[in-house]
């Protein structure tokens, strides 16, 4: 049949990358950046973006290899079965932790804005159930959903959030441009690791129907996302100021409610946030369970329930949104260094050394 192959196109992969990165980043980063560098936090996404592009370069160099073998089998060829299982298991944990943080952060925001009296477990359940359903529908359906949602997300984003640029200037815009190199480096690194869609790339090249020029296409998508994140970060910190941005739980959502242009439109920001988070969570459940299946030797639907339920339970364990965010920064740093930088570089090196053996 025409499209009965579970494969996605390069355009769909670009869109998924944008959505995967956007969801958590626009909520978490302004708060983190304001807390880390004050007004100068507006510059951190740029540093993070440059680092992200470096990661993307190394990941994309693996595209033909991963597109042929997939991560688990590819790693097994390069490092042997035991190390491959260990690395993949780590990635499964990373995905489930990210999933749980995403659920909890959005649940906190939804509780604050929409359902103040509803218990957290119900709100989180409402978020995870559609994601589980989406994961069951497969990666092709996720890609098509992404194509649909990108308009639903970006159009309101451009209509509602960007006009804030013209709404009364930026009363709190006071950058010092006086940043210590190591602080800027550390902050940029944290920004880079918050681009949570990058790790999906390691697992999705074998879903792609055409690998030609994929590096360029993904770089374009990444830069586009970076511009959006930079704008959100810039607008939020410049208008609210560094102290307020750092102290509010969801400054990006709140900025909509205090603007005269978009008064009362925090719900729109929440909706954008929700759709983007759902896309990410579907990917995390689908790819996490798939990888778990690879490690355990057989793909079973029970792994999807396990991944979703695991993420759900972990999400309920946090005290508040600040606890989730600090946990997210920690796991992003630990797993980010491992899976964004170290693993792609090592795999590239090993591939070069073992190229002849691998492709036999």
Partner 1 sequence: MYRDIDENIRVFENMFTDCGDLVKRKIPVSSTYIYVLYFDGMADRAVVENRVLDTFMLEIRKTPPNNFKDLTTALINGGLTTADFREEAGFENAAVAVMSGETLLIIDGFDKAIIISTKNYPVREVGKPDTEGSIEGPKEAFTENFRDQTALIRRRIRDTNLKIKQLKAGRRSQTDIALIYLEDVCRPEILQEALRRIESIDIDAILDSGYLSQLINENVTSFFPLMQLTERPDKAAAEILEGRIVIAVDTSPFVIILPAVLPSFYQTGEDYYQNWQAASLIRIIRYIASVLALTLPALYVCLALYNPSMLPAELLLKMSFAREGVPISGIAEIYLMELAFEALREAGIRMPSSIGSTLGIVGGIIIGQAAVDAGIVSPIVVIVVSLTGICSFAIPQIALGSAYRLSKYFLLTAASFFGFLGFWAALITLLIHISSLKSFGIPYLYPFAGGDIEGDEGMRDTFFRFPIRFMKKRPIFSTDKQKIRMKSE
* Residue placing its CB nearer to partner 1 in the complex, 275 or 351: 275
Residue 195 to residue 199: CA distance in whole angstroms: 9
Q: Among 88, 282, 343, 351, which residue interacts with partner 1 (rule: CB under 8 A)?
A: 282
Residue 292 to residue 144: CA distance in whole angstroms: 24
> Which of 6, 7, 22, 8 lies closest to 221, judged by CA?
22
> Which of 345, 266, 323, 315 lies closest to 97, judged by CA?
315
DSSP tag of 8: B
Q: Map 186-253 to HEC letters.
A: HHHHHHHHCCCCHHHHHHHHHHECCCCCHHHHHHHHHHHHHHHHHHHHHHHHHHHCHHHHHHCCCHHH
Residue 212 to residue 265: CA distance in whole angstroms: 41
* Residue placing its CB nearer to partner 1 in the complex, 72 or 273: 273
**Residue owning tokens 């688990």:** 72
Residue 316 to residue 237: CA distance in whole angstroms: 30
271 binds partner 1 (CB under 8 A): yes
12 binds partner 1 (CB under 8 A): yes
126 binds partner 1 (CB under 8 A): yes
324 binds partner 1 (CB under 8 A): no
**Residue owning tokens 């055409």:** 210
Q: Which stretch binds partner 1 (CB under 8 A): 55-63, 117-125, 236-244, 287-295?
A: 117-125
3 binds partner 1 (CB under 8 A): yes
143-182 positions binding partner 1, by CB under 8 A: 143-149
* Residue placing its CB nearer to partner 1 in the complex, 67 or 344: 67
* Residue placing its CB nearer to partner 1 in the complex, 42 or 132: 132
Q: How far is the CB of 329 from partner 1 (least distance, A)?
A: 26
Q: How far is the CB of 79 from partner 1 (least distance, A)?
A: 35
Query: What residues contact 327, with CB distance under 8 A and at least 6 apart?
Result: 97, 101, 318
Q: Which stretch binds partner 1 (CB under 8 A): 64-72, 120-128, 161-169, 192-200?
A: 120-128
243 binds partner 1 (CB under 8 A): no
**Residue owning tokens 């451009």:** 158
Q: How far is the CB of 198 from partner 1 (least distance, A)?
A: 22
Residues 74, 59: contact at Cβ < 8 Å? no
Residue 202 to residue 240: CA distance in whole angstroms: 37
Q: How far is the CB of 268 from partner 1 (least distance, A)?
A: 9
Q: Among 6, 11, 155, 317, which residue interacts with partner 1 (rule: CB under 8 A)?
A: 11
123 binds partner 1 (CB under 8 A): yes
Q: How far is the CB of 313 from partner 1 (least distance, A)?
A: 19
* Residue placing its CB nearer to partner 1 in the complex, 239 or 256: 256
Residue 203 to residue 354: CA distance in whole angstroms: 21
Q: How far is the CB of 210 from partner 1 (least distance, A)?
A: 10
Q: Among 265, 295, 339, 351, which residue interacts with partner 1 (rule: CB under 8 A)?
A: 265
325 binds partner 1 (CB under 8 A): no
317 binds partner 1 (CB under 8 A): no
275 binds partner 1 (CB under 8 A): yes
Q: How many residues bind partner 1 (CB under 8 A)?
A: 42
CA distance readout (Å), 113 to 110, 264, 267, 305, 319: 5, 11, 7, 29, 18
Q: Which residues are at the interface with partner 1 (CB under 8 A)?
A: 1-4, 9-12, 110, 113-115, 118, 122-123, 126-127, 129-130, 133-134, 137-138, 140-149, 264-265, 267, 270-271, 274-275, 278, 282
């Amino acid at each position: 049949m025409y499209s009965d192959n579970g494969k996605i196109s390069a355009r769909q992969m670009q869109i998924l990358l944008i959505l995967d990165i956007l969801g958590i980043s626009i909520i978490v980063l302004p708060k983190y950046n304001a807390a880390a560098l004050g007004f100068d936090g507006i510059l951190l996404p740029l540093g993070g973006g440059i680092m992200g592009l470096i990661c993307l370069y190394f990941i994309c160099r693996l595209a033909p290899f991963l597109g042929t073998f997939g991560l688990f089998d590819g790693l097994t060829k390069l490092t042997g079965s035991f190390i491959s299982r260990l690395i993949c298991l780590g990635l499964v944990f990373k995905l489930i932790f990210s999933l749980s943080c995403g659920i909890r952060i959005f649940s906190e925001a939804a509780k604050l804005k929409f359902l103040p009296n509803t218990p957290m477990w119900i709100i989180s359940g409402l978020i995870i159930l559609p994601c589980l359903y989406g994961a069951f529908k497969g990666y092709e359906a996720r890609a098509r959903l992404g194509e649909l949602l990108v308009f639903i997300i970006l159009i309101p984003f451009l209509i509602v959030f960007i006009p804030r640029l013209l709404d009364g200037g930026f009363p709190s815009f006071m950058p010092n441009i006086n940043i210590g190199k190591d602080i800027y480096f550390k902050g940029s690194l944290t920004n880079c690791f918050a681009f949570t869609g990058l790790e999906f790339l390691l697992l999705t090249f074998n879903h792609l129907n055409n690998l030609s020029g994929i590096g360029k296409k993904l770089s374009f998508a990444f830069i586009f996302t970076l511009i959006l994140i930079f704008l959100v970060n810039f607008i939020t910190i410049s208008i609210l100021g560094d102290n307020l941005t750092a102290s509010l739980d969801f400054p990006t959502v709140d900025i909509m409610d205090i603007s005269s242009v978009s008064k009362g439109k925090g719900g729109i920001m929440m909706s954008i946030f929700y759709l983007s988070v759902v896309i990410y969570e579907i990917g995390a459940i689908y790819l996490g369970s798939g990888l778990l299946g690879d490690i355990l030797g057989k793909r079973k639907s029970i792994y999807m329930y396990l991944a979703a339920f695991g993420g759900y339970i972990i999400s309920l364990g946090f005290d508040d949104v600040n606890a989730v965010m600090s946990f997210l920064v920690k796991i992003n740093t630990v797993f980010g260094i491992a899976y964004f930088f170290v693993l792609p570089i090592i795999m590239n090196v090993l591939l070069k050394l073992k190229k002849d053996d691998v492709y036999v």
